[in-house]
Amino acid sequence: MKGIYLNRTSITEENVQKYIDLIKNTNLNAAVIDVKDDYGKLTYDSNIELANQIGSDAGPATKDLNKLIQQFKDAGIYTIARIVVFKDPYLADKKNDYAIKRKNGAVWLDAAGTKWVDPYKEEVWGYITSIAQEASDSGFDEIQYDYIRFPERAKQVDQEVTFDNPKNLTKADNILAFLKYSENHLRNYPVYVSADVFGLVTTASDDMGIGQVWENISPHVDYISPMTYPSHYAPGSYGVPNPDRAPYEIMNRAMKDAKDRNGKLEEKGEDVASIRPWVQDFDYLSAYSADDIRKQIQALNDQGISQYLIWNAGNVYTVEAYK
């Protein structure tokens, strides 16, 4: 699968055909569609009791999710439902009990002023999984979990908050427990499941304080998507002075490490996820050209990886890079 990300604005009735045409007129064949976005809002009218109770499905982008998915299917496009998991300011605001709390009991906010739900709350697991089940019933081919992690800047966060963790699980064990819970509840649904992970998860020897460990996640999803955006790597990563200007080198090294880790899991008899990374198509530290995008894709090809997803938050894509 080779796909682009579509936000709530892009899937409205007046905009969606433009993106279907974009996919059909390139070598792409998949769409990652926001179902539960970064703000905790659903993009469709839900029948889930909690969603109706808190209004997370109010003002949906699409009036008929089944019809929307059928439009993509009719065009031969593979559909992926993006569900933002633990970064959920809407649920955290409406259900204070589910929010990450400071040690004094106040609701914790991240550096951007955003509330998160506590990843240890099993009620949240149930809500997320219900959305995944509803997305499957609407015809999606795949469920993709994003922000399936604890907040970054972990050392500082851990000094500020108290998690609701009666089983005394590590963060990594908790993310694994959620995945197993989801796996069990989606067992009879005809969907694949994928997880987005930080780019450095391919290489890091620990969970970086966010609970993401390659060896925990890969065996429990069908696809694993490292967010290998060169601009987000620190100077000196993999010995590269300026990763932002080394899109081939960063992607090549990250994928080599990812393949090595999957290989070691397979040697132990584990099933592993297919590697399907995110490719940068946005400006961050510098302007990203079609050539910069092609270099990332070339690095994937050189590592024998033929699948990828393209990220641009505003859905403004460099179409010539995918032709």
- Torsion, Cα of 123, 149, 136, 186 (10° steps): -70
pTM beyond 0.85: the answer is yes
- Would you state the structure tokens that stand for residue 28, as one six-digit string? 């792409």
pLDDT band at 160 (very low <50, low <70, confident <90, very high): very high
Q: What pLDDT, on the 0 to 100 scale, is given for residue 208?
A: 96
pLDDT band at 182 (very low <50, low <70, confident <90, very high): very high
Give the pLDDT mean for 76-91.
Answer: 98
- pLDDT tens by residue, 293-308: 999 999 999 999 999 9
Percent of the chain with pLDDT over 70: 100
Q: What pLDDT, on the 0 to 100 scale, is given for residue 219?
A: 98
What fold is seen in the domain 2-84+123-150+166-322? TIM Barrel (3.20.20)
Give the pLDDT mean for 164-176.
Answer: 97
DSSP 59-74: S-S-S-HHHHHHHHHH
Give the pLDDT mean for 83-112.
Answer: 97
- Would you state the structure tokens that stand for residue 130, as one six-digit string? 């219900």
Each domain of the chain, given as residue ranges in start order, spans: 2-84+123-150+166-322
Cross-strand bridge partners of residue 33: 6, 81
pLDDT band at 17 (very low <50, low <70, confident <90, very high): very high
Q: What pLDDT, on the 0 to 100 scale, is given for residue 193?
A: 98
Give the pLDDT mean for 182-201.
Answer: 97
Q: How far is residue 312's CA from residue 98's CA, in Å, rounded to a whole number?
A: 30
pLDDT band at 77 (very low <50, low <70, confident <90, very high): very high
- The separation between the first and the last C-alpha atoms of the chain, rounded to the nearest angstrom, is 15
Give the pLDDT mean for 83-93.
Answer: 98
Q: How far is residue 69's CA from residue 105's CA, in Å, rounded to a whole number?
A: 42
Q: What is the mean pLDDT of the chain?
A: 97
Residue 258 burial (C-beta neighbours within 10 Å; 0-12, 13-18, 19+) = buried
Q: What pLDDT, on the 0 to 100 scale, is given for residue 56?
A: 98
Give the pLDDT mean for 250-261.
Answer: 98
Q: What pLDDT, on the 0 to 100 scale, is given for residue 284?
A: 96
Q: What pLDDT, on the 0 to 100 scale, is given for residue 127?
A: 98
Q: What pLDDT, on the 0 to 100 scale, is given for residue 244?
A: 97
User: 3-state secondary structure string, the chain?
Assistant: CEEEEECCCCCCCCCHHHHHHHHHCCCCCEEEEEEECCCCCECCCCCCHHHHHHCCCCCCCCCCHHHHHHHHHHCCCEEEEEEECCCCHHHHHHCHHHECEECCCCECECCCCCECECCCCHHHHHHHHHHHHHHHHCCCCEEEEECCCCCCCHHHHHHHEECCCCCCCCHHHHHHHHHHHHHHHCCCCCCEEEEEEEHHHHCCCCCCCCCCCHHHHHHHCCEEEEECCHHHCCCCHHHCCCHHHCHHHHHHHHHHHHHHHHHHHHHCCCCCCEECCEEECCCCCCCCCHHHHHHHHHHHHHCCCCCEEEECCCCCCCHHHHC
Percent of the chain with pLDDT over 90: 100
Cross-strand bridge partners of residue 194: 144, 223
pLDDT band at 92 (very low <50, low <70, confident <90, very high): very high
Q: What is the CA radius of gyration of the chain?
A: 19
Q: What pLDDT, on the 0 to 100 scale, is given for residue 122?
A: 97
Q: What pLDDT, on the 0 to 100 scale, is given for residue 247?
A: 98
Q: What pLDDT, on the 0 to 100 scale, is given for residue 40?
A: 98
- pLDDT tens by residue, 58-74: 999 999 999 999 999 99
